[in-house]
Chains A and B, each alone.
Chain A
Amino acid sequence: MLLELIVVSVIAASTPLLLAAAGELVTERAGVLNLGVEGMMIMGAACGFAGAYFTDSTLLGALCGIAAGAALAAMFAALTLGLAVNQVATRLALTIIGIGISGLIGAGFVGERITPAPHLALPGLSALPFVGSVLFGQDAFVYCSVLLILAIRWFLYRTRPGLVLRAVGDNHASAHALGYPVLRIRLLAVLFGGGCAGLAGAYLSLAYTPFFTAGMTAGRGWIALALVVFASWRPLRLVAGAYLFGAVTILQLHAQGAGMGITPQLMAALPYLATILVLVAISGTRRMAGSTAPASLGVPFVPDR
């Protein structure tokens, strides 16, 4: 029973990371470094909760979250793609705005409750011990995150628009010379990333908790950013990274609960230490292994006329 509980909570802790990182992966593959995942997530959490509160529908709430994340992403796109403002500075500023506005929007909802997102219930299957709750008893967000990864993988490596998107991220000048609309492709990738981050935030306030508090994303957006590097911009590795991180987060809680005699502060730092260690290991092996970051990542594109 304890194992089942742990696995279910690992999945729940990993899903928002996976959703947000999946969107950021597509954005970065197009060559845009959107550091504002945290801000878009918290906007998604606030607006998603508000939407679900008024409509009493998880689906409509999630759509509100997606729209809020995409809206903030559109602001980012207008500044960095349209006006070629520095991507890093813009994103940090918009993250702070996102945290602020979400607090404002969410202030009236703190302490309110909504109906949590329903879990799948298949007659017979969901009642199975262990397998039932882990595989057939999750909420829609979890299945959605897995499907999203598979869809992104298919899109990037099996479709022509996916190839064009990777090309834009690798060398925007060449893509422009070949006649591809660099800025439009990047805009779409940024909006997609924003939508995913918004969905991840909505998951937190609609299914994970389910309630809203200011700052409830608690740095998950930053971890999602690290996960993309961790996964070396590959979708399947992203799943491994998100679940590894989720597992460390949950396990350290249980370890604390079991009274292992290690200071809780150190235990709480474990997920972050794990991230750093893996990043170091990756950069050590990557030199010889190929596959690096998209070459135009974070470089603004200004066509000459």
Chain B
Amino acid sequence: MAATETVMGKGEPLLRAAGITKRFGTFAANDAVDLDLHPAQIHALLGENGAGKSTLVKIIYGLLQPDAGELRWNGTPVVLSGPAQARALGIGVVFQHFSLFENLTVAENVALGLGPGETLAQVSVRLAEVSRAYGLPLDPAREVWQLSAGERQRIEIIRALMQNPKLLILDEPTAVLTPQEADLLFTVLRRLKDEGRAILYISHKLDEVKRLCDTATILRGGKKVATCDPRQESAGSLARLMVGGNIGDVAVAPHKPAGNPRLILNDVTLLPDDLHGVRLANVSLDVRGGEIFGIAGVAGNGQDELFSVLSGERFAQGEVDVVIDGAAVGHLAITQRRRLGAAFIPEDRLGHGTAPRMKLSDNALLTGHAAGGMVQRGFIVRDAMLATVDRATKVFDVRKARRDPEAVSLSGGNLQKFVVGREILREPGVLVVSQPTWGVDAGAAATIRQALVDLAARGSAVLVISQDLVELTEIADRVAVMFAGQLSQPMAAASASRETLGLLMGGAGMELSYAGA
């Protein structure tokens, strides 16, 4: 059968990338990469952050020009001078960071992705047709900033589909989706495959790739290391190809978090402070000593607001709304909360967690001045600051070119290790950390998770806000889900299923969980 043939990768590829090389300065983001994409096939592009996946996609879409190598479309060599040309060939892309216009409507966004020749009214009609045909509901007249991440992705997919592409590229499409939204996406992708389209699916989530894809090409350090059938491989073997070694499991010692509550939120309600913010509604929780408390949820459901009310960047309405180790801190600023033994690690490590153009030692001072001997009689003590940098470097294996470089010069994973190390080395009694391993390679992620587990084992209360369900179920004792500014009842992480959490993340089970409480 023809279908079997294409699945096996025989026949003429729709797109062949041969020997693609792209350098930025001396750094080779892509180094002689080969890739064949066939019709009616879902092809995975696997790799760690920085492996060169996005660079390759940009080259295929004409956004970057390769330094060497060539692209062949149906056997004919093509030079893509820009995305318009790629679209004309029949290539559509759904980007990882949405390429949408916040202040424009859905229909206007879609119209911008299509060529001229259709009026906005015609685009709206066709958009409604396509969205109905694929079961992806969308209101053409709404402005994008009002929409959820899942709805935004629908716009991108429908925009791509309305051009009737022969090749559809999706860059980390499930990163911002609930498990149920991801399942809906997979149904749509399988249908597109059955329609004979080629799909390039970029991800680092192995279980998804094994469920969905027919072929996988794995990149590491800009080079292609293998092309294989992911269904024939184990998650472990794929991970080894991606990382180039084994990843240690996090060792969780059996323990009973029986300490007193060290961090308490009492019925916190907080109005948003900007247009696109979320209102926190009656959020209550308590984290005991020795416990890791996980907060799951799709980004933009109030996690940022929750973090800022915990850290003191925003004050709570009542003084007793936030309690750290028995002290009512709702109206205390971040430095005063640090003096009580709390530490805070925000999601954005560059700009929020560190000042990018300042040295690591200065960044150590920025959070460390509250406690610890970095300031004496109003003067800073450089030796103490450098000692902190050295300890964080040693304990957390921070790789850097010099002893004390600027924060911006570190890679994402190494900077995150430094930021986490800087706070954990102060032995905080209460640690609040947001997206601890976001955008960090697997090795660094394992180090960071282990450090969080060890800190809790020493009696601290740890609150982890994360979008990564695997991470939360691995390290947390209890998990609650944040949706639209509300927090679900906490449940034991060991017994929380992916389905339950997913429903809560989509808001479906929110009423249920309150009714059951």
Contacts and interface: CB of A to CB of B under 8 A. Distances in A.
Contacts of A290: 143, 145, 275
Contacts of A171: 99-102
A294 B101 CA distance: 10
Contacts of A286: 275
Nearest to A180: B112
B113 interface: yes
Contact of A177 (B63, B108, B143, B274): B63
Interface stretch (B82-90, B319-327, B499-507): B82-90
B411 interface: no
Contacts of B145: 290
Interface residues of A, number: 25
A163 B108 contact: yes
Contacts of B112: 163-164, 167, 175, 178, 180
Nearest to B24: A304
A166 B84 CA distance: 19
Given A177-B95, A287-B275, A163 B102 contact: no
Interface string B78-107: 000011100100000101001111111000
Contacts of B100: 171, 174
Interface string A137-180: 00000000000000000000000100110110011011111111
A292 interface: yes
B116 interface: yes
Chain A contact residues, majority secondary structure: helix
A288 B64 CA distance: 40
Interface residues of B, number: 27
Contacts of A294: 103
A160 B99 contact: no
Contacts of B64: 304-305
Interface string B475-496: 0000000000000000000000
Nearest to B62: A179
Contacts of B113: 178
A134 interface: no
A295 B100 CA distance: 12
Nearest to A303: B63
Contact of B83 (A178, A287, A295): A178
B6 interface: no
Given A160-B116, A292-B275, A305 B103 contact: no
Contacts of B239: none
B492 to A, nearest CB: 40
Contacts of B63: 176-177
A167 B104 contact: yes
A207 B120 CA distance: 41
Contacts of B95: 177
A170 B112 CA distance: 12
A180 B99 CA distance: 13
Contact of A295 (B61, B82, B84, B103): B103
Interface string A275-305: 0000000000011101110110000000011
A196 B103 CA distance: 26
Contacts of A167: 101, 104, 108, 112
A163 B112 CA distance: 8
Contacts of A292: 103, 275
B65 interface: yes
Contacts of B87: 179
A167 B114 CA distance: 13
A184 to B, nearest CB: 13
B34 to A, nearest CB: 23
Nearest to A170: B101
B235 to A, nearest CB: 33
B310 interface: no
Nearest to A233: B103
Contacts of A177: 61, 63, 83, 93, 95, 99
A290 B99 CA distance: 20
Contact of A179 (B83, B103, B108, B143): B83
Nearest to A287: B275
A164 B145 CA distance: 18
Listed residue (B61, B82, B112) with the most chain A CB atoms within 10 angstroms of its CB = B112
Contacts of B84: 179
B334 interface: no
A174 B99 CA distance: 4
B144 to A, nearest CB: 9
A164 B108 CA distance: 9
B111 interface: yes
Contacts of B102: 170-171, 295
Nearest to A173: B99
A265 B303 CA distance: 51
B104 A166 contact: yes
Contacts of A287: 274-275
A104 B95 CA distance: 53
A286 B276 CA distance: 11
A145 B350 CA distance: 47
Nearest to A168: B101
Contacts of B275: 286-288, 290, 292
B143 A163 contact: no
Given A164-B112, A174-B100, A305-B65, 7 more contacts: A163-B104, A166-B104, A167-B112, A170-B101, A173-B99, A179-B84, A290-B143
Interface of B: 61, 63-65, 82-84, 87, 93, 95, 98-104, 108, 111-113, 116, 120, 143, 145, 274-275
5 contacts: A163-B120, A170-B102, A286-B275, A287-B274, A288-B275
Interface of A: 160, 163-164, 166-167, 170-171, 173-180, 286-288, 290-292, 294-295, 304-305
Please list the 8 inter-chain residue pairs (A to B) with the smallest Cβ-Cβ separation, ordered nearest first: A174-B99, A179-B84, A179-B83, A170-B101, A177-B99, A167-B101, A171-B101, A170-B103
